[in-house]
Amino acid sequence: MREYRKAKILAKFDTDRDGVLSDPEHEVMIAKHAARLKKFDTDGSGRLDPEEIKAARAADVKIRKLGAGPCGPPPQPYSD
């Protein structure tokens, strides 16, 4: 499953197609996540509660897990 997620992330955010998320590409990914969180985090908690997740899914937004929220520190760039 991890390789599948990695491939999906690279396909979506690795704009120069070098197989690694550069800092700017990673920032775009984080910004998109933050915008999605802000849109559906109606109580301003910084996390999505079950009702907020339900609303996001009703709007056809992909939410991976309960309590999805800010990612924390950026991970190392994806590479093989």
User: Contact, 59 vs 2, CB < 8 A?
Assistant: no
Mean pLDDT of 28-37: 88
Q: Which domain holds residue 15?
A: 2-58
Judge whether 68 lies within some domain.
no
Judge whether 18 lies within some domain.
yes
What per-residue confidence (pLDDT) applies to 79?
A: 54
Decide if pLDDT at 51 tops 70.
Answer: yes
Number of domains within the chain? 1
Rounded Cα–Cα distance for residues 65 and 53 (Å): 9
pTM for the full predicted model: 0.61
Judge whether 30 lies within some domain.
yes
Judge whether 64 lies within some domain.
no
Judge whether 8 lies within some domain.
yes
Mean pLDDT of 12-29: 94
Judge whether 38 lies within some domain.
yes
Judge whether 15 lies within some domain.
yes
What per-residue confidence (pLDDT) applies to 20?
A: 92
Does 60 or 15 have the greater pLDDT score?
15
DSSP annotation of 60: T
